[in-house]
Amino acid sequence: MNRSRVSLAGASVVPAPAPDAGTTHRALPKTAAAIANPALAAFVDQGRGNDRVPSDFDTRVPSVREPSEIAAVIAVVRDRGDGPTVRHEAINLLRRSRAPELVPLLLELAGRGDEKAQFRAYVVQHLGENLVDSATQGADIMPLVDALRRGSADPDLGVRRQAFQSLLRYGDEGANALVALPLADARLNGLRDLIVHEYPADGTRRAEVRSFLYSASLDERIAAIAVLGQWQDKASAAAFADAAASKVPALRRAGELASRRISELPKLP
């Protein structure tokens, strides 16, 4: 099958193959039968609804080994009738179990265009985590990279951010190209608060970061304050003080921390 390639921020992206006309994704049947662990049996039982992940679930069910257990957990992941959090926890369980079925399953899910944004973000998150694992183990990582590159073009900002972070950790050329852009570039909208943390502390991008100390975006403003605070940028002291006086808790904490770092600078004689 011919698969055309498109370019995204300098990186080559392989589009996911379109599903066959009329194809629907049907949930596999789930049953608690023949599962010895009662916590796992309750988890895969959809009849219990979406509120079936106790806070200590990873302790109660550290891993799955039996084929019937793995199949039941995979069915939870595939079932769009379950909530995103339940399906996310099922992926976590497969990951803890080092199930070889996980990567093909994630690639399958990444190719679906009809999943909700929250679950798409979870899938991209797990793709990134498995990219690191696969690279360490010498496995073929390009299917994972291509899926993440497609995620970086997702219509949902949360999915794009998750994909960008994963690609950046991998060292993807497209992600690095975005970091190299001027911080005010419109292509960085929604990503600036992530990108400023990638800047070197040598001062080469300091003026750009300062220009966002009063950004209308709270995330961008907090990120600029945090980074300049780490750099102990004395020229930003007034902006730090203004943030420390804010009624917005997250902004106030960022301003207070940055101000403390300025105060740690040695006093001139």
Domains of the chain, by residue range, sit at 190-269
Taking alpha carbons only, the member of 152, 231, 230 closest to residue 191 is 152
Window from 50-64, 202-216, 242-256 with minimum mean pLDDT: 50-64
For 115-132, what is each residue's pLDDT tens digit? 999 999 999 999 999 887
**Calpha distance 262→237 (Å, rounded):** 7
**CA 140 → CA 130, 134, 149, 212, 221, distances in Å?**
11, 7, 16, 40, 39
For 65-111, what is each residue's pLDDT tens digit? 999 999 999 999 999 989 999 999 999 999 999 999 999 999 999 99
Mean pLDDT in residue range 153-164: 96
At 22 the pLDDT is 37
At 225 the pLDDT is 98
Mean pLDDT in residue range 28-34: 51
At 138 the pLDDT is 66
At 140 the pLDDT is 83
Name residues whose C-beta falls within 8 Å of residue 120's C-beta, 6 or more positions apart in sequence. Answer: 110, 151, 154, 156, 159
For every residue of 75-116, DSSP letters joined together read: HHHH-TTS-HHHHHHHHHHHHHTT-TTHHHHHHHHHT-SSS-
Residue where the block lists tokens 């084929």: 67
Is residue 10 over pLDDT 60?
Answer: no
Q: Give the pLDDT band (50/70/90) at residue 135.
A: low
**CA 260 → CA 49, 199, 238, distances in Å?**
48, 21, 13
Pull the structure tokens for residue 140. 């073929």
Pull the structure tokens for residue 32. 């608690």
The identity of residue 211, as a single letter, is S
**CA 245 → CA 69, 103, 132, 241, 249, distances in Å?**
54, 47, 41, 6, 10
Neighbouring-strand partners of residue 7: 12
At 33 the pLDDT is 53
Question: Do the Cβ atoms of 123 and 106 come closer than 8 Å?
Answer: yes
Mean pLDDT in residue range 171-197: 96
105, burial (CB in 10 Å: exposed 0-12, middle 13-18, buried 19+): buried
Q: Give the pLDDT band (50/70/90) at residue 269.
A: low
Neighbouring-strand partners of residue 14: none
Pull the structure tokens for residue 261. 């770092």
Say what the pTM is: 0.79
At 47 the pLDDT is 77
Q: Give the pLDDT band (50/70/90) at residue 61.
A: very high
190-269 has CATH 1.25.10 classification: yes
Q: What is the mean pLDDT of the chain?
A: 86
- Listed in sequence order, the DSSP H helices in the chain are 38-43, 57-60, 67-78, 84-96, 102-110, 117-136, 142-151, 157-170, 173-180, 192-195, 206-210, 218-230, 237-244, 249-263
For 222-250, what is each residue's pLDDT tens digit? 999 999 999 999 999 999 999 999 999 99
Name residues whose C-beta falls within 8 Å of residue 95's C-beta, 6 or more positions apart in sequence. Answer: 102, 126, 129, 130
Name residues whose C-beta falls within 8 Å of residue 238's C-beta, 6 or more positions apart in sequence. Answer: none
**Calpha distance 105→132 (Å, rounded):** 17
